[in-house]
């Protein structure tokens, strides 16, 4: 019985990964910050921590792109990543590298 409950919870959480709700949760937790452009070559600047979650890996470029697309779904018809830069922030408690991706994004309207 307990295994069934855990399996349903894991499936539910995996279904949230990559969704607009998942993007909002990551922003509220401080794992994602979004700012307006500071240069004319892009429209938004995302700061995305390299956290790992069910169905999301901050170090995976495809996962970052899905997160950005979901976050800007109501604003942009499509998005184009202009530049990605990794900023090292030391190590997590697990001794894995801790960092943050700075992603500049152009919004196609």
Angle between helices 61-71 and 20-29 (to 10 degrees): 100
pTM attached to this predicted model: 0.76
> Would you say residue 2 has pLDDT above 50?
no
Give the per-residue pLDDT at 25: 79
Higher pLDDT, 38 or 4: 38
Query: d(Cα 10, Cα 16) in Å, to the nearest integer?
Result: 10
Contacting residues for 69 by C-beta, under 8 A, at least 6 apart: 78, 79
- Residue 93 CA to residue 44 CA, distance in Å, equals 31
């Amino acid at each position: 019985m307990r295994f069934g409950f855990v399996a349903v919870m894991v499936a539910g959480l995996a279904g949230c990964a990559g969704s607009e709700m998942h993007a909002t949760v990551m922003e509220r937790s401080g794992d994602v910050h979004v700012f307006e452009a500071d240069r004319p070559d892009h429209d938004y600047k995302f700061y995305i921590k390299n956290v790992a979650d069910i169905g999301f890996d901050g170090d995976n470029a495809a996962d970052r792109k899905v997160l950005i697309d979901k976050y800007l779904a109501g604003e942009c018809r499509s998005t184009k990543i202009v530049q990605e830069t990794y900023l090292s922030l030391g190590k997590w408690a697990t001794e894995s590298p801790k960092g943050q991706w700075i992603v500049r994004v152009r919004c196609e309207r």
